[in-house]
Amino acid sequence: MSTVTNDLTILVIDENAIRASIIEEGLSEAGHLNVKVIHEMQGVARLIETMDPDVIIIDIENPNRDMMEHMFQLTRMISRPIAMFVDRSDTAAIEAAVDAGVSAYVVDGLKKERVKPILDMAVSRFNAFSRLQRELAEARNALEERKVIERAKGILMKMRGLSEEQAFALLRQTAMNEKKKLADIAQSVVTAAGMLL
C-alpha cells in the first residue's frame, strides 16, 4: 500500500490554538511542511476554494449540533480526504460524519504521534471510496448503454425484419463507419424511432 507523500497541502481547521499546534507538530514531525492552520470557521469555504488543499483536518473539541451541521455541509461540497478529531461523540454524529464523507473520525485521540497514521488512513480511505464511486458510475453507465443497445436492436428487428444478430451487426457496422460508440448509434436509433412513432 502506498504511503501519503509529504508534498500535500494540508488545511487544519481548529478554533483552539493549543490543539491546532499539536496537529501541526505531528504533521511537521511526519515531514509535512505545507500546512495552513485556521482558527475561524468564518469564511472557511472561500479559503478552501482559494487554497485548494489536498487534505483537510478538522478538530472540534466539543462539537455542538450547529457546528457539526456546518462542517458536514462543508464536507459535502468538497471532494477531499477529511480527518476529524472530536473529544466527545455519539452514534448520530458518527453516522452524520460518514454520510458527509469524512474519511477518518477520531474520538478522544488527539496526540501528535497519531496525526500521521490517521492522515494516511484518511487519504487511503478517501481514495478507495472514490475508486468505488467511479466503478459504480461506470457500471451504471455500462448498464444504461446496454439497455439502449437492446432497445435499438428491438427497433431494428421490428422495423427492418432483422434477426437479433443482424440488428446488432448493423449497429456495430454503423458505429465503426461513423467512428462513434455503439451506444451513441443505438441512442440515435432509439431517438429517431421515438420521433417517427
- pLDDT for residue 2 is more than 60: no
Mean pLDDT of the chain: 83
- Number of Cβ atoms within 10 Å of the Cβ of 144: 12
**Positive or negative torsion for Cα 7, 108, 126, 97:** negative
Superfamily of 10-110 according to CATH: Response regulator (3.40.50.2300)
138-196: which CATH number, 3.40.50.150, 1.10.10.10, 3.40.605.10, 3.90.870.10?
1.10.10.10
Residue 173: its pLDDT value, please? 94
Domain ranges of the chain: 10-110, 138-196
Q: pTM above 0.75?
A: no
Q: Tell me the average pLDDT across 102-129.
A: 79
Residue 24: its pLDDT value, please? 87
pLDDT, tens digit (0-9, with 9 covering 90-100), for 134-172? 999 999 999 999 999 999 999 999 999 999 999 999 999
What does the DSSP 8-state code read for residue 15? S
Q: Is 37:12 a contact under the CB 8 Å cutoff?
A: yes
Residue 15: its pLDDT value, please? 81
pLDDT band at 1 (very low <50, low <70, confident <90, very high): very low
What does the DSSP 8-state code read for residue 13? E
- Using a 10 angstrom Cβ sphere, with 0-12 exposed, 13-18 middle and 19 or more buried, the burial of residue 108 is exposed
Q: Take residue 62 and report the three cell numbers written for it.
A: 466539543
Residue 157: its pLDDT value, please? 94
